Amino acid sequence: MTPVRTRQHRADSALTTRVHGGEPSGPRVLDDMTVEVALSLMAGAGVEYLVLCDGDDQCTGAVSRARLTVFRDTPAYTDRVRLRDVPGSQPA
């Protein structure tokens, strides 16, 4: 078995203050992740928010589990929708 290396990131202070009163709001993920994968990750990690990052690892916003769950039940949802395309994601 190959060991996995992980990196810990701290979200931008403007984003964390808005989302959770200055505390880190959740794991950082790329904004091209699908909604289904994000919901699965959130359930497994037991978190309510994900911090969205672009390809340059810059924070672009945040999204909550509640927002993704509501969006999944709309007619606009398909299994190809990316997190960056979810209406109501909080900008950084």
Q: Which two tokens stand for residue 40?
A: 């699965």
What is the identity of the amino acid at 18? R
Distances in Å between the alpha carbon of 58 and those of 52, 70, 91? 8, 26, 12
Q: What is the pLDDT of residues 49-88, one digit of tens each?
A: 999 999 898 898 899 999 999 999 999 999 999 999 998 7
Is 70 exceeded by the pLDDT of residue 46? yes
Phi-psi region of 48 (alpha: psi -120 to 50; beta: other; left: phi over 0): alpha
Is 90 exceeded by the pLDDT of residue 18? no
User: Looking at residue 57, what is its pLDDT?
Assistant: 87
Average pLDDT over residues 8-14: 42
Instruction: Indicate the pLDDT class of residue 15, thresholds 50, 70 and 90.
Output: very low
Three-state DSSP class for 38? helix
Main-chain dihedrals φ then ψ at residue 52, nearest 5 degrees: -90, 135
